[in-house]
């Protein structure tokens, strides 16, 4: 398995939805590829931190500004077409 293939399958691996063959290939790759191991471990820890954190209620004025900024970007994106981000 190449690193690019590993990265493609990472979220499925962390979600536990890979078929057994792909899971074994991925775990074999992790056993010798330090870079992918670090990416996997860091992603796993980030998810754990996120899941353990409490929700933070945004102040109403900030929510309004954020909503407005998102809507503005969406409208700009629609005007330019799908190739612009």
Per-residue tokens: 43 = 């992603």
Note down pLDDT in tens along the chain; length 85 residues: 899 999 999 999 999 999 999 999 999 999 999 999 999 999 999 999 888 877 778 899 999 999 999 999 998 888 877 664 4
Q: What's the predicted TM-score (pTM) here?
A: 0.60
* SS3 readout for the chain: CCHHHHHHHHHHHHHCCCCHHHHHHHHHHHHHCHHHHHHHHHHHHHHHHHHHCCCCCCCHHHHHHHHHHHHHHHHHHHHHCCCCC
């Amino acid at each position: 398995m190449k690193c690019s293939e590993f990265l493609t399958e990472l979220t499925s691996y962390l979600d536990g939805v890979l078929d057994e063959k792909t899971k074994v290939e991925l775990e074999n790759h992790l056993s010798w590829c330090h870079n992918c191991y670090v990416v996997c471990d860091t992603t796993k820890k980030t998810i754990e931190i996120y899941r353990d954190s409490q929700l933070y209620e945004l102040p109403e004025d900030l929510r309004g500004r954020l909503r407005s900024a998102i809507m503005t970007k969406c409208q700009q994106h629609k005007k330019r077409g799908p190739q612009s981000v």
